[in-house]
Amino acid sequence: MKITENERDAVYKTIFARRDVRGEFSPEPIPEDVLHRVLTAAHHAPSVGFMQPWDFVLVDDLETKKKIKTGFDSANRESAEQFNDDKAAQYRKLKLEGILEAPLGICVTCDRHRNGPTVLGRTIKAEMDLFSSVCAVQNLWLAARAENLGVGWVSILHDSVLRDALNIPEEIEIIAYLCVGYVSYFKDKPELETLGWQPRRDVNSAIHYGTWSRAVDTGA
Ligand SMILES: Cc1cc2c(cc1C)N(C[C@H](O)[C@H](O)[C@H](O)COP(=O)(O)O)c1[nH]c(=O)[nH]c(=O)c1N2
């Protein structure tokens, strides 16, 4: 099967128009068929040894979301203290989650024991199962964008909060908590770029020919 030019353009458009969404969610519910398409796209991510170690816990209960939000608030206060004075003040102004606003939360997990102890491709680097689950997150994020659904990744959370709220056992790894819902608009650029937190690196500084070399900061 060949990808047509229009289809190629749609893929790039989706990649460049994807954003991390925090506060702009509408409460409009996500239709079952749309959600199923997005989760099926996530489920078709590549995985080491075709392990498919992920699971998706869907969270629409307000009380559960409130527990997670309380956990975020506490972890966020703890996080702010890790930055120096100016950066901490700027950090405290950032909106870094949409846990209550988003109609749906999705917790992506990784079962590190799925398919037994020896997995093709994971014999030398054990963390490949975790990376596979992150591939599922990216597929989900892009498929959601193609459906005009916003996604926000919230990682300022201790695992214990999600384990308690969602009944996730210790042997299951927590990969991501995602806030998902329709949005009024998608920003053109990452918010952290617009607010001056961090600029986008020039793609050429990420490309190395032959050997790795430390990127030179040109200040551009
Ligand atoms: C593993 C991981 C973890 C997080 C994120 C991303 C990823 C990949 N991002 C989103 C992140 O800030 C965002 O992707 C970048 O700022 C780039 O913006 P766009 O995603 O292009 O809009 C994120 N954003 C946020 O507001 N709170 C968070 O806790 C996190 N955590």
- In short, whether 134's Cβ falls inside 6 Å of ligand 1 is no
| Nearest residue (CA) to ligand 1, atom 6 | 153
Record the tokens describing residue 22, joined without a space. Answer: 């925090």
User: How far, in Å, is the centroid of ligand 1 from the Cα of 20?
Assistant: 6
- In short, whether 20's Cβ falls inside 6 Å of ligand 1 is yes
The closest of 191, 218, 190 to 204, measured between CA atoms, is 218
Distance CA 130, CA 80 (A): 27
This model's pTM is above 0.90: yes
Mean pLDDT, range 64-79, rounded to an integer: 98
Helix (H) / strand (E) element for 99: namely: none
CATH fold of the domain at 18-195: NADH Oxidase (3.40.109)
- In short, whether 72's Cβ falls inside 6 Å of ligand 1 is no
- In short, whether 56's Cβ falls inside 6 Å of ligand 1 is no
Distance CA 190, CA 213 (A): 27
| Nearest residue (CA) to ligand 1, atom 18 | 190
User: How far, in Å, is the centroid of ligand 1 from the Cα of 120?
Assistant: 31
- In short, whether 156's Cβ falls inside 6 Å of ligand 1 is yes
Mean pLDDT, range 165-177, rounded to an integer: 98
- In short, whether 112's Cβ falls inside 6 Å of ligand 1 is no
The closest of 196, 111, 110, 182 to 152, measured between CA atoms, is 182
Residues whose CB falls within 8 Å of the CB of residue 163, separated by 6 or more in sequence, listed in order: 169, 170, 174
Mean pLDDT, range 103-122, rounded to an integer: 96
Residues whose CB falls within 8 Å of the CB of residue 182, separated by 6 or more in sequence, listed in order: 25, 26, 28, 30, 148, 149, 150
Distance of CA 64 to the CA centre of its chain: 20
Nearest atom of ligand 1 to the alpha carbon of 187 = 22
Distance of CA 9 to the CA centre of its chain: 23
pLDDT value of residue 194: 97
Mean pLDDT, range 92-114, rounded to an integer: 98
Q: Give domain limits for the chain.
A: 18-195
Average pLDDT, the chain: 96
Q: Is the pLDDT of residue 44 over 90?
A: yes
pLDDT confidence tier of residue 216, bands split at 50, 70 and 90: low
